[in-house]
Amino acid sequence: MAKRRQLRGFDLKQLEGVDHLIGVDEVGRGAFAGPVVAAAVVVSREFLESRWAVVKGARVNDSKLLTAAQREELWAEFEELAAAGKIHAHHGLAGVAEIAEFNILGATKLAMRRALGGIYPPEAFAVKRDEPDLFSSLEERASFQPTVAARVIVDGLPLRGFPYPHRAFVKGDARSLCIAMASIVAKVARDRMMVAMEAQFPGYGFAQHKGYGTEEHRDAVLRLGRCAEHREAFLRKLLAVRVDPAQMEFLG
């Protein structure tokens, strides 16, 4: 309980001077198949002081430390909170082609931008001229006067060239309640995508390993070859240590 109170306390401090706090996190950066998915969750002081946040929020944690059943249960409660207008949440993704085009960091920024864009457009925040957004037009890169009293906090390191002013916190999903909530939203959303992908590309075990580099996943690729949802550069890393280079030819 004390740990969860610290998460709430962290967010209450970050709310100083603004009305809303937006926690952002992503999942899937290290996977060998499937998209990278990001989520944004908006909370207010009223929510952080609510009975749900004080009592039920004690179950919220970094999504990696929760079971699938616990994440699904919390997702359902988040939906109820969102329907009641007590929080807002949105997720976005960057697909395999975008990961190949922009690299995993650029694709992660794109997914985060899409998640945030479902809540507030970049124009609602002040944008620094010296940090142009890779994905925006020249007109969009101009400085804007902020129209929302909100602060964005992101798990990880500061994001250069990102259209949303933000504060970044390493291990933020273990420090902030709203970042931890975003990690759960992103994880559940991506897991559901990977389960659906198993039906489209049977035999790889996507529903079980969710595209990560398990032994079962590696063995399936050796049997079946790669599918359209495999990240080619990542897959080569997966196989490089255990597979003779001659065996890589069939992967293209």
Percent of the chain surpassing pLDDT 70: 83
Say what the pLDDT of residue 237 is.
Answer: 72
Strands lying side by side in the sheet with 20-27: 88-94, 36-44, 20-27, 150-155, 166-169
- Between 117 and 140, where is the model more confident? 117
Say what the pLDDT of residue 136 is.
Answer: 52
pLDDT at 27 over 60: yes
pLDDT at 5 over 70: no
The secondary element (H helix, E strand) that includes residue 16 is: none
Amino acid at position 6, single letter:
Q
Over range 138-144, report the average pLDDT. 44
Q: Give residue limits of the domains in the chain.
A: 2-196, 200-240
Over range 200-215, report the average pLDDT. 95
Question: Shortest CA distance to 20 belongs to which of 146, 191, 201, 196?
Answer: 146
Length of the chain: 252
Question: Shortest CA distance to 248 belongs to which of 228, 203, 218?
Answer: 218
Confidence class for position 146, pLDDT limits 50, 70, 90:
low
Q: What CATH code is assigned to 2-196?
A: 3.30.420.10
Tens digit of each residue's pLDDT (9 = 90 or more) over 186-197: 999 999 999 999
Over range 91-96, report the average pLDDT. 98
Percent of the chain surpassing pLDDT 90: 73
**In the structure encoding, which two tokens stand for residue 251, read together?**
């992967």
Confidence class for position 124, pLDDT limits 50, 70, 90:
confident
pLDDT at 118 over 60: yes
Question: Shortest CA distance to 23 belongs to which of 140, 135, 115, 122?
Answer: 115
Tens digit of each residue's pLDDT (9 = 90 or more) over 155-178: 999 999 998 999 999 999 999 999
Using CA atoms, how far apart are residues 79 and 81, in angstroms rounded to an integer? 5
**In the structure encoding, which two tokens stand for residue 196, read together?**
């659906």
Tens digit of each residue's pLDDT (9 = 90 or more) over 34-81: 999 999 999 999 999 999 999 989 999 989 899 999 999 999 999 999
Beta bridge partners of 169: 155
CB of 12 closer than 8 Å to CB of 44: no
Average pLDDT of the chain, as a whole number: 86
Over range 218-241, report the average pLDDT. 86
Helices (H), the chain: 2-14, 45-48, 51-54, 68-83, 96-117, 177-200, 206-209, 215-224, 232-240
